[in-house]
A = this chain, B = another copy of it.
C-alpha cells in the first residue's frame, strides 16, 4: 500500500515552523536547528523538502506575497460606493495586519534586503505597483461616477498605500496607542472627507 504523499504536508509543516522562527529571531539568527525542532522534524529532513535555508526564506516570502495579492484582488468583489469599498478593504487588511502582527518583522527584514538587492526590490516593486494600480482604478471609478472631486487617482492611491504600510509599523511599535483597524478606518475617512464632491 503506497503511503500517501507527505511532501506537501511536510513542506507546510516546515514553512509554518520557519515562519514562527524567522519572526521570533530574524533571518540570520534563525537556526536550521530551531526550524527543525519547531517543525518536529530532523535537520536532515528540512533538506529533503527545501534545498537550503534561503529556499525556505524564499518560500515563506512567496507565501506572504501570495496572501497579500489575494487580499488585493479580493478588492474587486466589494460592493457599494467607492468610499464604502475603500473602507471595506481597509477593514479587511486591518484585520489581516492585526492577525499577522507577529510576522511583520519579517516584512521589514525583507524590505531591508529589497533596499539593497535590485532583484529582490523588483519583486516588491511589482507588488506595490499592483497595489497602487488596484487602488487607483477604484479611485478613478469614484471620480468618474462623480463621487469624488477631480483629483489625481494615482496620487490618492499612493497615499492610501503608504498609509497602510506606515500603520503596520506604528501599530506594531505601540499597539496600545495605535490600533491598526481603528486608525486605518479613521485615516481613510479623513481622506475621503477631502475627496468627496462638496
Using a CB–CB cutoff of 8 Å, the interface residues on chain A facing chain B are 23-28, 104-106, 108-109, 111-116, 121, 124-125, 128-129, 132, 151-152, 155-156, 158-159, 161-167, 169-170, 172-174, 177-178, 183, 186-187, 190-195, 198
B residues less than 8 Å from A194 (CB atoms): 190-195
B residues less than 8 Å from A112 (CB atoms): 26, 105-106, 108-109, 112
Contact yes or no, B195 A155, CB < 8 A: no
| Residue of A151, A159, A165 most packed against chain B (CB within 10 A) | A159
- Closest Cβ of chain B: how far from A43's Cβ, in Å? 13
Contact yes or no, A190 B155, CB < 8 A: yes
B residues less than 8 Å from A192 (CB atoms): 194
Shortest 4 CB-CB contacts between residues of A and residues of B: A194-B194, A162-B166, A105-B115, A166-B166
Given known A26-B113, A105-B115, A190-B159, contact A124–B166 (CB-CB < 8 A): no
The one of B105, B170, B186, B198 that contacts A161, using a Cβ cutoff of 8 Å = B170
Contact yes or no, A121 B159, CB < 8 A: no
**Complex Cα–Cα for A174 and B128 (A):** 8
B residues less than 8 Å from A169 (CB atoms): 111, 162, 165-166
Contact yes or no, A158 B187, CB < 8 A: yes
**Complex Cα–Cα for A190 and B187 (A):** 12
Contact yes or no, A174 B129, CB < 8 A: yes
